[in-house]
């Protein structure tokens, strides 16, 4: 799901410089049923490519997000790396010298079309190895019906958010503000809050990539969450550390949640259940947050089989505008290229308009520090520990200090 690539070097039927090459791609499944499995998308795309490139076959294996990263790791460890993988992280493979740089694969036109902050996030050691594929941001979803009953309007500050949550609680809403800090995806909810904090929020790292998890702003943010939301019973009957994102989304779709941070897939999930909802930017302490959290998944090309030219030709095709838009629209994701983003922004179709709130935030969004090989260990620690920061006997300062120590240790190991 990413750039406009015309591959100037392609020129007609099958002139890829070699014949009878089979490219193997392992990809993640964005579908929620067999009917819309990503396998169907890739099979159709591969068939269209092969029709114009008779010397190249593309074999695609699609696995669930629960399995795909592990599957690729097993293949690489066994000495049978695929030619391409579309998965959640690239930095470990880049650091191990197993990946082509993006510039070794893609046409200049394709490279130039990526949204700059996504391309930058694909860098390891100042060179781009991760090619952005699918992107999303987060906005604040609210239940219009519950808000009307409580006589409230969407919040623009933290104080307003807490006041709205209290009004919803007083009306008997089960989850006035759902705060999923359970192990499924706590790193996402955490980062969203860190970015909204005082002085613009500090996220997980500073501007030069040093971990700043225990910064004063971050401690202040989690202290507010603990004292003003969780401590006042405004986050529902399940402790945030035990509430997973999927359960929170399901509760929103069932009409039991007043507000929560959500990504584009919640639109369809809620609409299917008939929930009337609105979407607004996540508030900060004194107004709209300066940055939203962005998430991108990654395409990468492995060196092992030596098919750089064929991989590049195929990826230039994958990132043509029409293909990027088709994938984005099928799975409710944001385009990672400027050309496709502009086309979606200019579109009046209902499906595209639903994504405009997320698209508006993408240019200024901040991503996980995915270019750091330590991020996987840090993310796992956040998932495991962050819920304790808002527990009744928890200490935000102590938990964030512990996570900072974990991050500093992991960073020194992986960079040393």
Question: Which tokens is 85 given?
Answer: 């993988």
Name, in order, each residue with C-beta under 8 angstroms of 78's C-beta and a sequence gap of 6 or more.
Answer: none
Residue 200: predicted pLDDT: 64
The helix (H) or strand (E) run that includes residue 84 is strand 84-87
Same topology between domain 21-135+295-367 and domain 139-291+374-415? yes
Question: Which tokens is 343 given?
Answer: 């086309």
| Count of beta carbons in the 10 Å neighbourhood of residue 57 | 15
Domain boundaries, the chain: 21-135+295-367, 139-291+374-415
Residue 279: predicted pLDDT: 95
114, 276, 279, 408 from 283: Cα distances, Å:
28, 21, 12, 30
* Superfamily per CATH, domain 139-291+374-415: Periplasmic binding protein-like II (3.40.190.10)
The domain defined by 21-135+295-367 folds into D-Maltodextrin-Binding Protein; domain 2 (3.40.190)
Supply the pTM of this predicted model.
Answer: 0.84
Question: Which tokens is 378 given?
Answer: 């840090």
DSSP state, 215?
A: -
Residue 13: predicted pLDDT: 37
Residue 235: predicted pLDDT: 98
Residue 11: predicted pLDDT: 33
- Which residues, in sequence order, are bridge partners of residue 256? none
Phi-psi sector, 110: left (phi>0), alpha (psi -120 to 50), beta: alpha
* Digitized pLDDT (tens) for each residue of the chain, 416 residues in all: 332 222 223 333 333 444 589 999 999 999 877 888 999 999 999 999 999 998 999 999 999 988 999 999 999 999 999 999 999 889 999 999 999 999 999 999 999 999 998 999 999 999 999 999 999 999 999 999 999 999 999 999 999 999 999 999 999 999 999 999 999 889 999 999 999 986 666 799 998 889 999 999 999 999 999 999 999 999 999 999 999 999 999 999 999 999 999 999 899 899 999 999 999 999 999 988 878 899 999 999 999 999 999 999 999 999 999 999 999 999 989 999 999 999 999 999 988 999 999 998 888 888 999 999 999 899 999 999 999 999 999 999 999 999 999 999 998 886 64
* Closest C-alpha among 247, 228, 225 to residue 174: 247
């Amino acid at each position: 799901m990413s750039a406009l690539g015309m591959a100037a070097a392609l020129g007609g039927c099958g002139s890829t410089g070699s014949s009878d090459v089979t490219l193997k791609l392992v990809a993640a499944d964005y579908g929620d049923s067999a009917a819309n499995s990503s396998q169907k998308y890739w099979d159709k795309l591969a068939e269209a490519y092969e029709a114009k490139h008779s010397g190249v076959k593309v074999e695609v294996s699609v696995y669930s997000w629960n399995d795909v990263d592990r599957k690729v790791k097993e293949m690489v460890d066994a000495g049978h790396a695929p030619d391409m993988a579309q998965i959640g992280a690239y930095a470990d493979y880049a650091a191990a010298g197993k990946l082509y740089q993006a510039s070794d694969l893609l046409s200049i036109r394709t490279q130039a079309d990526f949204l700059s902050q996504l391309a930058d996030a694909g860098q390891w050691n100042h060179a781009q190895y991760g090619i952005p594929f699918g992107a999303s941001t987060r906005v604040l979803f609210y239940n219009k019906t519950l808000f009307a009953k409580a006589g409230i309007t969407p919040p623009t500050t933290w104080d307003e958010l807490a006041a709205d949550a209290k009004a919803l609680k007083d009306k008997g809403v089960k989850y006035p503000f759902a705060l999923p800090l359970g192990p499924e995806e706590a790193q996402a909810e955490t980062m969203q809050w860190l970015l909204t904090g005082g002085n613009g929020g500090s996220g997980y790292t500073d501007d030069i990539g040093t971990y700043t998890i225990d910064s004063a702003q971050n401690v202040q943010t989690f202290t507010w969450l603990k004292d003003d939301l969780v401590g006042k019973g405004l986050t529902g009957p399940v402790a945030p550390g035990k509430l997973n994102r999927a359960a929170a989304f399901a509760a929103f779709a069932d009409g039991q949640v007043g507000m929560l941070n959500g990504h584009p897939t919640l639109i369809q999930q809620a609409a299917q259940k008939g929930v009337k909802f609105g979407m607004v930017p996540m508030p900060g302490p004194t107004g709209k947050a300066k940055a939203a959290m962005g998430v991108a998944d990654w395409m990468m090309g492995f060196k092992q089989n030596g098919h750089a030219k064929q991989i590049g030709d195929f990826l230039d095709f994958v990132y043509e505008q029409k293909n990027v838009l088709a994938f984005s629209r099928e799975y409710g994701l944001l385009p990672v290229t400027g050309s496709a983003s502009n086309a979606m922004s200019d579109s009046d179709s209902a499906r595209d308009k639903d994504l405009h709130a997320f698209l508006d935030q993408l240019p200024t969004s901040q991503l996980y520090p995915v270019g750091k090989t330590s991020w996987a260990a840090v993310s796992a620690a956040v998932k495991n520990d962050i819920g304790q920061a808002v527990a009744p006997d928890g200490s935000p300062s102590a938990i964030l200090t512990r996570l900072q120590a974990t991050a500093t240790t992991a960073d020194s190991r992986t960079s040393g």
